[in-house]
Structure 1
Amino acid sequence: MPVGTLYRRLRTRLLAGGTTPGTALIRKDASPLQAQRETFGLVCSALASAGVPYFCVRPPRGRPPAVAVATTHRSEALSALAQCGQPFLAGRQPYGRRGERSTEVGEMLPLRRAGTLENARVVRVALYFTSPSHTLTLGAEHGCDLEFWAPEGDMLVAPRPNRSCDIVPAHGETVQGGEELFNNLVSPSRSIGGYPTRPEFTRRLIDDIDFPIDAVYTWVDGSDPAWRARRDLALTGGLSELATTDARFVSRDELRYSLRSLLTYAPWVNRVWVVTDGQRPPWLDTSDPLVSVVDHKEIFGDPSVLPVFNSHAIETQLHHIDGLSEQFLYLNDDFFLGRPLPAHTFFEGNGMPHFFPSIVHVPFGSPADEESPVHAAGMNNRRILEALAGRTLTQKMKHVPYALRRSLLYEVEERFAEDFAATARGAFRESSDISVVSSLVHYYAYLTGRAAPGMIDYTYVDLALEETPAKLRRMLAKRKHDAFCLNDTAPTTEEQDALLMRFLEAYYPTPNAFELS
């Protein structure tokens, strides 16, 4: 049976409350990082306890941690894992010698039948975990690979490619390496310990991301009476209905779940900053050092323009956050990560950001005649870039986390100071706005050789559409998207809001440490 087919059957059995071989361990902190850490740790502990020599290997992107054992110790290694008292499963991986793909498709096998793995070059060892709600199940895709390295003279040869080298001395020195070397979901600031490895795997590689990456959110609670009073006082005639509609400011607690998605699937994030207009989510523990609330007064270069209720204006000031890292992600609270993403999704090892163009076009025409403030801002961005480089912007960006560099934003602010200042003082969205962090700076960076297009699997969900409930069910069952946006283009009903909350709680059942009870 193909590995993928059996994984799906085991997952189905788990969700149906089945038992072996898919019995899952319930964890309140269930997440891909938790699953990889626990499985990786158990593999290393079992081998060490049995006296089996091993070293950890730097896996390529997209693979879980890997542990190397010489083929001469294969039977002892498999026996040690089979006897460790955990409901392990093992699967032969479809890799041949030196990374050549084998014609044999792997099959998941209980480790008590480890003798059937005597010819495997790579074995995926997995524990199954589930959240208390049983809506999040983690299995073999978050396990640990056991690689059998073949002796050739005084050397050991890898069974497949890795990030550092495919040959090491058979009796070489063993050193300690940080967790971030072996787990693609961990950054140096989030590393919790060291693992035995060879010196070859501890080198700082050209494409390593070892710089901090923060995350910034803008958030508003449109039901707050004090905030509404400030907004109503600032309202004037002649504004676009799309700029002032309540749908722009409604909060359904999406921020809580967007943060869960971020720290579940991008746990390498360094710090989180929530930018607000004198507000704070009631469930947020601001004493936690991971998250900070930033008031508009702290970042606006000209505080006299406040209050503003214009996301374009707020976004022109985000790089003024005191203490913000050079590289950071910007998210709206309706952005969600759908599965584990390494930091390389958003940045290169040299710090260069990726951007993600959409298939949706910015229309041609005059911004003054455009009803949509978003389209008008795109047109104004186009004007700036055409004057700068003689190139025409036609595509919007996907509604996914925007990878940004602080220094680039300062540069763009200085170069286009008049447009920045005009947008920053607009209390509500206007046809003269520019959209900086969601479009302009990305194209500017690309045209000046400091950004490149990236790849991300993304989908957009309009909560008001009739087909949305069926789409959410498919998304929950398959969990195949890297990222998605849950947006509303029209006022939603109580039933639609309740559906959204059920979906978010099922998709992201694991609370963050900074959520108050």
Structure 2
Amino acid sequence: MPVATFYRRLRRRLPLTRPAPGTALIRPDASPLQARRETLDLVCSILSDAGVPFFCVRPLQVRPPIVAVPEEERTRALTALARSGRPLHAGPVRFRGVPKVTPLRRASRLREDVRVVRVAMYFASPSHTLVLGPEHGCDLEFWARDGDMLAAPRPNRACDMVPADAEPVPGGEELFNTLVPAVRRTRTYPTRPEFLRRLIDDIDFPIDAVYTWVDGSDPEWRARRDRALAAESAGRPDLRISAQATCEARFTSRDELRYSLRSLMMHAPWVNHVWIVTDGQVPAWLDTSHPMVSVVDHKEIFTDPSVLPVFNSHAIETQLHHIDGLAEFFLYLNDDFFLGRPMPPSLFFEGNGVTRFFPSTAHVPFGDPQAQESPVHAAGMNNRRIIEELCGRTLTQKLKHAPYALRRSLLYELEERFPAEFAATARNKFRTSSDISVVSSLAHYYGYLSGRAVPGYVEYTYVDLSLRKTPAKLRRMLARRKHDAFCLNDTAPTTPEQDELLRRFLEAYFPTPAPFELT
């Protein structure tokens, strides 16, 4: 079934609020960043051409870009935008929710006491499954004159008043758009000196992203895995390998990495560099020459390469901080993690480098791990033992399957402090009940207890692809797009029909290719 047909059927099941036909501009690179940039650039260009004075304001993290205009220029500004001939929409900004907008030619209907107006355009992907509207527009603020000062109509990140007659100065895009990385400036906008200051909570350090990935359908990789499993079973009869560690579902690839990377580029375009850690494999669709992505082989990061090959994610995760060139601050993601809507870096990091982690309501069972214990539970139990021996605190909660914010230096510190545990896990070719889970649990609780990590909150959901209720849940997720992050996992082998449903869902949710995809 074509994606468009699937989406039309979905809309019949769950009606969506969409722009009238013909009002959305089709963009092959449709994304929240594209929509914000294009709208901000157009508003600034129209005001400049009309001779309307303006300056950009540093917004709070949850707000789109802001353009400030003196209140006495309100009529000229709205008239210029309305007469531009562009498909602009506008509406008053309330305290909560996405503003309701109408074509800007009806701007005269805006009440005179409305001091903040959302200006927006509608954009759509060529598939029409992604539509971006007022949630990614630009706010027009009317600053009131107070003597020789201009007063802001609402709070921002820097100041409430600026001199009315001060000359504008250029400011980097990263100051006004929370989706732009501070380390990759591409354009500037007129602003005031007050908004150029480096604030105490600014996140102006590079943040990388690290993925671990395997293509379980690769016959050469499967042969290596089968030989290793046979050798382990024969050479270490006392080794406790869980049946879940060798389940086919653990190694199945449905091209999730492609769509996870699309979600990252769409909703966290501030990421500096992407590292993909693999066992000698490269996705066929990946442009490895692109400067923003690097493929890293296990041989390049394992302290003891003689333990390779390994087929244990816990083992691989103990070595990620050895990636040559990896930034101090990074996100770690599995290929079944997806970002569902724009996420500013402040969701994961504080300006002082403190990381955020997201505790789950699910508990780590008490007791010692048994031979056929769930590998996740067993690793959590072993992490708890380490924490209890270290400081007498007890770990009880798992973490959500959402991107993990990490510091490279903290992982080195952990490895130096617990070398035996790191080395033992790194040489386990398959998940066993003696593993520790470093980047998905231990590092965050160690960071918390040493003052370098704090609990955070992320709007999140977990989807088990093998459940009968999953198709209905995917339809709701696509219609509402309300989750910051979600995990699409499989606890059992799936059917071809379930795999096809997942492919259609991912293509509809993330239709915009990442910049490093081969066409």
Structure 1 position 37 matched with structure 2 position 42? no
Hey, what does 1:166 align to over in structure 2?
160
Q: Which amino acid aligns with 1:194?
A: T
Aligned to 1:303: 305
Deviation of the 1:275 alpha carbon? 0.1
For 2:370, the equivalent position in structure 1 comes to 368
Matched, 1:467 2:469: yes
Query: What is the rounded CA distance, in whole Å, between the counterparts of 2:206 and 2:197 in structure 1?
Result: 19
Spell out, residue by residue over 1:380-429, the C-alpha distance to the aligned partner (whole angstroms, 9 max, x if none): 00000000010011000000000000000000000011000000011111
**Aligned to 1:294, which of 272, 276, 296?**
296
CA contact (8 A) 1:265 1:338 kept: yes
Distance between the aligned counterparts of 1:10 and 1:232, measured in 2? 48
Amino acid at match of 1:110: P
Change over 3 Å in CA distance of 1:106–1:486 after alignment to 2: closer
- The corresponding residue for 2:494 is 492
C-alpha change, 1:12 and 1:107, in structure 2 (3 Å) is closer
Work out the CA distance in 1 between the residues paired with 2:328 and 2:94. Answer: 41
Q: Distance in 1 between matches of 2:21 and 2:242?
A: 58
**CA root-mean-square deviation:** 1.5
1:278 Cα deviation after fit: 0.4
Alpha-carbon contact 1:92-1:107 (below 8 Å) kept: yes
Indicate whether 1:186 and 2:180 are aligned. Answer: yes
Separation in structure 2 between the aligned mates of residue 287 and residue 173 of structure 1, nearest angstrom = 44
What TM-score do the two structures reach when normalised by structure 2?
0.94
Give ranges in structure 2 of 5+ residues lacking alignment: 1-13, 234-239
Q: Rate the CA distance shift 1:13–1:396 in 2: closer, same or farther, 3 A.
A: closer
**Aligned residue type for 1:43:** V
Q: Name the CA distance, whole Å, in 2 between partners of 1:221 and 1:358.
A: 29
Q: Does the CA contact (< 8 Å) of 1:149 and 1:158 recur in 2?
A: yes
Judge which range, 235-244 or 478-487, deviates more: 235-244
Match of 2:448 in 1: 446
**For 2:367 and 2:78, how far apart are their aligned partners in 1?**
67
AA paired with 2:476?
R
Aligned to 2:246: 244
Q: Does the aligned pair in 2 maintain the 1:133–1:509 contact within 8 Å?
A: yes
> Which amino acid in 2 is paired with 1:38?
E
Q: Which amino acid aligns with 1:339?
A: R
Give runs of aligned pairs for residues 229-240 of structure 1, distance below 5 A.
229-235=223-229, 236-237=232-233, 239-240=241-242
TM-aligned CA distance change 1:374 to 1:13, over 3 Å = closer
Contact 1:368–1:432 (CA under 8 A) maintained in structure 2: no
Map of 2:385 onto structure 1 = 383
1:410 aligns with 2:404: no
What are the Cα deviations for residues 454-473 of structure 1, in whole angstroms up to 9, with x where unaligned? Answer: 11000000000000000000
Verify: 1:220 aligned to 2:225, yes or no: no
CA distance in 2, matches of 1:274, 1:139: 33
The whole-number CA distance in structure 1 between the counterparts of 2:161 and 2:441 is 45
Where do 1:91-170 residues align within 5 Å? 91-94=91-94, 107-117=100-110, 118-170=112-164
DSSP 3-state at the match of 1:368: coil
Q: Which residue of 2 aligns with 1:6?
A: none
Q: Which amino acid aligns with 2:344?
A: P
Q: Which residue of structure 2 lines up, in the alignment, with residue 82 of structure 1?
A: 82
Aligned position for 2:24: 24
Deviation at 1:430, TM superposition (A): 0.8
1:11 to 1:170, Cα distance in 2 relative to 1, 3 A: farther
Give, in whole Å, the separation in 1 of the partners of 2:88 and 2:337.
35
What is the SS of the residue equivalent to 2:183? helix
* Aligned with 1:211 (options 205, 217, 220): 205
1:12 aligns with 2:17: yes
Unaligned segments of structure 1, at least 5 residues: 1-8, 96-100
Note closer, same or farther for the CA distance 1:370–1:446 as it changes in structure 2 (3 Å cut). farther
For residue 367 of structure 1, give the secondary structure of its aligned residue in structure 2. coil
Distance 1:106 1:285, change over 3 A: closer
C-alpha separation in 1, matches of 2:437 and 2:17: 44
Give the Å deviation of 1:84.
1.4
Q: In structure 2, how many angstroms separate the alpha carbons of the residues matched to 1:367 and 1:276? A: 29
| CA drift at 1:106 | 6.2
Q: Please tell me whether the aligned partners of residues 461 and 484 of structure 1 are also in contact (alpha carbons under 8 angstroms).
A: yes
- Residue 316 of structure 1 aligns to which amino acid in structure 2? T
Partner in structure 2 of residue 98 of structure 1: none
Does structure 2 retain, via aligned residues, the 8 Å contact 1:370–1:376? no
**Count of aligned pairs:** 496
Partners of 1:430 and 1:94 in 2: how far apart?
A: 54
* 1:192, distance to aligned residue in structure 2 (A): 1.6
1:395 aligned residue: 397
CA distance in 1, matches of 2:206, 2:446: 23
User: 370-379 or 341-350: which moved more?
Assistant: 370-379
With the length of structure 1 as denominator, give the TM-score of the two structures.
Answer: 0.94
Deviations 1:310-338 (A, max 9, x none): 00000000000000000000000000000
Q: Report whether the alignment pairs 1:507 with 2:500.
A: no
Distance 1:13 1:34 in 2: 19
Find the counterpart in structure 1 of residue 437 from structure 2: 435
Q: CA deviation at 1:113?
A: 1.8
Larger mean CA deviation between 185-194 and 283-292 belongs to 185-194
Residues in 2 aligned to 1:281 and 1:502: alpha-carbon distance in whole angstroms: 20
The amino acid of 2:102's aligned partner reads L
CA drift of 1:365 comes to: 1.4
Percentage identity across aligned positions?
74
11 and 87 in structure 1: CA distance in 2 versus 1, 3 angstrom threshold: farther
Q: Deviations over 1:47-78 (max 9, x none)?
A: 00000000000000110000000011111100
CA contact (8 A) 1:355 1:403 kept: yes
Deviation of the 1:240 alpha carbon: 1.8
Where 1:489 maps in the other structure, the secondary structure is: coil
